[in-house]
Amino acid sequence: MSELQVALLAIGLGVVIAVYVFGWWKQRQYSRKFGAAFSQQHDDALYQEKPAQPEQAVEPASFIAEEPMLVNQDALVEVDSVVEAEIVAELPVIDIATTLSEPCALLDMRSDFIIELHLAEPAAAAVLDGLWQRKFDFRKPVQVCGLTLTESQWERVIAESQPLYSKFRIALQLVDRSGVITVAKLGDFRDLVQGIAQAIEADATVPDVQEVHRAALELDAFCAEVDQMVGVNLRVQGERLTGGGKVAQAAALHGMRLESDGAFHLFDTQGHSLMTLINQDSKPFQYHTLEQSLTAGITLLLDVPRVENPAENFDLLVKMAHQLAGELQLSLVDDNKLPLTDAGLAHIRAQLVEVEAKMRGNDLVPGSAQARRLFS
């Protein structure tokens, strides 16, 4: 071995030792810096046997956005500790059985093309592998429900479901806001499920495709008749514009929060949107541009088929519109920018009463899970 090779070997060995020593030294530094903090005893934020003092409820305005830029800074003091202390109390109690069975209870021959498979032997969801691969090919939601062996009830099935089932109901939704499903898609769905049934030696109960499609056309026509969105416009007076930050603060005071669709939503106790506030300038509200944005007006919207008691919620919308108009110095106007009178509002409300009556007369309750499914 030459002297040059020996020198290079010695240099390389020295570098390795230096790197090792440096890593050991840095680790010791971090341990000394953070070890004391993690060794301290902290109270569990989610469990306290007896809090020293009751926590004051946080106003909805404090939670309009994940970013604190729109919230009064005084309201943000200690907000993290308040959330930690109250999160368990606010979490809803979830009934697992209801959660699993509710989607299956919504399946209806009028709104879904349902094929039932009777299995020769109980099986898990994996036997429907061909379906899971093509579930999104039909441009309409596909729902699978299985009859459990242990509890003898229908529950929602996903590809990873492990229980054994004696029957499957495989349903393709017929109608939603994108329109009615085509005969061709129904035929493709039927052929797919029948092929799976043959592969696993299951008996299949299959409705007639043409009859199902005729019924779907009738349902789609009815949905189009009652599918209404009503709104109240609020516009600035004169040529001035209103800042997006002011709109956000006013919306927060009324319990609304900005969502990813660029609109402020007011939610009910079940987490469903009751009404929305949108920008009339066709530009969605966004967190990072609110303080710089300007608008000539806003609109409060009510999605009639998707809310319970549409007429009553319209009353709530009108009340909020008047309050926002006063807070933001706006005027209530119709689509022609003419003042919206009490008579005009009464006429809109009367139309909503008629829509609700039509829906209930057709066994479709506004705001129900079935209505939200069809008007999605």
Predicted pLDDT at 22: 58
Q: Are residues 186 and 125 in the same domain?
A: yes
* Domain edge (last residue) among 181, 209, 224: 224
Predicted pLDDT at 14: 66
Asked if the structure places residue 198 within a domain, the reply is yes
Predicted pLDDT at 337: 87
- Whether residue 3 is predicted with pLDDT greater than 80 in this model: the reply is no
Asked if the structure places residue 160 within a domain, the reply is yes
Choose between 13 and 338: higher pLDDT.
338
Residue ranges making up the domain that contains 68: 60-85
Residue 328: which CATH number? 3.30.1400.10
Average pLDDT over residues 289-316: 96
Predicted pLDDT at 209: 97
- Whether residue 199 is predicted with pLDDT greater than 80 in this model: the reply is yes
Domains held by the chain: number: 3
pLDDT, one tens digit per residue, over 217-255 is 999 999 999 999 999 999 998 888 999 999 999 999 999
Q: Are residues 185 and 262 in the same domain?
A: no
Residue 84 in tokens: 């930690």
Q: Are residues 234 and 361 in the same domain?
A: yes
The SS3 of residue 184 is: helix
Q: Are residues 194 and 233 in the same domain?
A: no
Asked if the structure places residue 237 within a domain, the reply is yes
β-strands 242-243, 257-258 pairing: unpaired
Average pLDDT over residues 173-197: 97
Q: Are residues 358 and 240 in the same domain?
A: yes
Q: Are residues 202 and 239 in the same domain?
A: no
Q: Are residues 308 and 250 in the same domain?
A: yes
Asked if the structure places residue 106 within a domain, the reply is yes
Average pLDDT over residues 185-190: 97
Asked if the structure places residue 124 within a domain, the reply is yes
Looking at 21-25, 125-129, 168-172, which range is the least confident one? 21-25
Looking at 46-60, 245-259, 267-281, which range is the least confident one? 46-60
Q: Are residues 368 and 240 in the same domain?
A: yes
HEC profile of the chain: CCHHHHHHHHHHHHHHHHHHHHHHHHHHHHHHHHHHHHHCCCCCCCCCCCCCCCCCCCCHHHHCCCCHHHCCHHHHCCHHHHHHHHHHHHCCCCCHHHHHHHHHHCCCCCCEEEEEEEEEEEECHHHHHHHHHHCCCCCCCEEEEEEECCCCCEEECCCCCCCCEEEEEEEEECEECCEECCHHHHHHHHHHHHHHHHHCCCEEECCCHHHHHHHHHHHHHHHHHHCCEEEEEEEECCCCCEEHHHHHHHHHHCCCEECCCCCEEEECCCCCEEEEEEECCCCCCCHHHCCCCEECEEEEEEEHHHCCCHHHHHHHHHHHHHHHHHHHCEEEECCCCCECCHHHHHHHHHHHHHHHHHHHHCCCCCCCHHHHHHCC
Predicted pLDDT at 100: 52
Q: Are residues 138 and 208 in the same domain?
A: yes
Residue 169: which CATH number? 3.30.1400
Residues paired with 112 in a beta bridge: 173
Average pLDDT over residues 24-44: 42
Q: Are residues 150 and 73 in the same domain?
A: no
Asked if the structure places residue 307 within a domain, the reply is yes
Nearest C-alpha neighbor of 365 from the set 320, 304, 288: 304
pTM confidence score:
0.70
Q: Are residues 298 and 364 in the same domain?
A: yes
Choose between 4 and 78: higher pLDDT.
4
Q: Are residues 189 and 166 in the same domain?
A: yes
* Domain edge (last residue) among 193, 224, 255: 224
